[in-house]
């Protein structure tokens, strides 16, 4: 099987936004982000099915989380400092409002919430959790910070009738 890729994302590939968007800047409307994400999901599901599409979103989120952690966060901080930095950066970048509900540092087990989540806050009830990308994103951040693998699972979502996204984060294989 050929494992070469046409495109191998790195943070630098985001470009120079000050140069490229001198008038519009770095911000865009959440509707445009969701339009891209949901149409991409729709096309991928038609070609690959919902389970494989979820896997793609988790994998992409993981890569994004690692790059975000590597380029935006201070990995030299202890856990409390790191999560405070993460919360501040997620708010600054408009991703959501992070809160650590539970943390067991010995077991590397956490429960996190992200309110006003970029991917799903405000969506109508569908019975479906939408935040596969976020599961990967959180896993990628934690992996880069700790050099350990994590299993991240969304347990509450706007799509399932909740008003915040809640994730279990546990050290894994």
From first to last of its 173 residues, the chain has per-residue pLDDT tens of: 456 667 788 999 999 989 999 999 888 999 999 999 999 999 999 999 999 999 999 999 999 999 999 999 999 999 999 999 999 999 999 999 999 999 999 999 999 999 999 999 999 999 988 899 999 999 999 999 999 999 999 999 999 999 999 999 999 87
Q: Are 118 and 144 in contact (CB under 8 A)?
A: no
Please tell me the distance from the alpha carbon of residue 169 to that of residue 62, in angstroms, as a whole number: 13
**H or E element: which one contains 20?**
helix 17-20
End-to-end CA distance of the chain: 25
Residue (of 114, 105, 49) closest to 80 by Cα position: 105
User: Exposure string (b/e) for 122-140, b if CB count within 10 Å is 16 or more?
Assistant: eeeeeeebbbbbbbbbbbb
Residue (of 21, 14, 45) closest to 130 by Cα position: 45
- Residues paired with 171 in a beta bridge: 150
**What residue spans define the domains of the chain?**
16-171
Triad 153, 155, 157: Cα angle to 5°: 115
CATH number corresponding to 16-171 = 3.30.1380.20
**Is pTM beyond 0.85 here?**
yes
Residue 164's φ and ψ, nearest 5 degrees, are -155, 155
- Tokens 């599409």 belong to 53
């Amino acid at each position: 099987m050929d494992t070469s890729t046409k495109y191998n994302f790195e943070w630098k590939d985001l470009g120079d936004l000050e140069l490229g968007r001198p008038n519009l800047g770095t911000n865009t409307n959440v509707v445009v982000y969701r339009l891209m994400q949901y149409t991409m999901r729709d096309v991928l599901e038609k070609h690959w099915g919902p389970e494989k599409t979820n896997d793609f979103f988790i994998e992409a989120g993981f890569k994004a989380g690692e790059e975000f952690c590597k380029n935006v966060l201070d990995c030299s901080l202890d856990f409390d400092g790191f999560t405070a930095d993460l919360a501040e950066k997620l708010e600054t970048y408009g991703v959501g409002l992070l809160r650590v509900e539970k943390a067991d540092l010995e077991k590397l087990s956490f429960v996190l919430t992200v309110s006003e989540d970029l991917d799903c806050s405000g969506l109508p009830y569908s019975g479906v959790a939408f935040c596969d990308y976020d599961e990967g994103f959180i896993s990628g951040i934690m992996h880069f910070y700790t050099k350990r693998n994590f299993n991240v699972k969304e347990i509450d979502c706007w799509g399932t009738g909740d008003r915040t996204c809640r994730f279990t984060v546990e050290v894994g294989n």
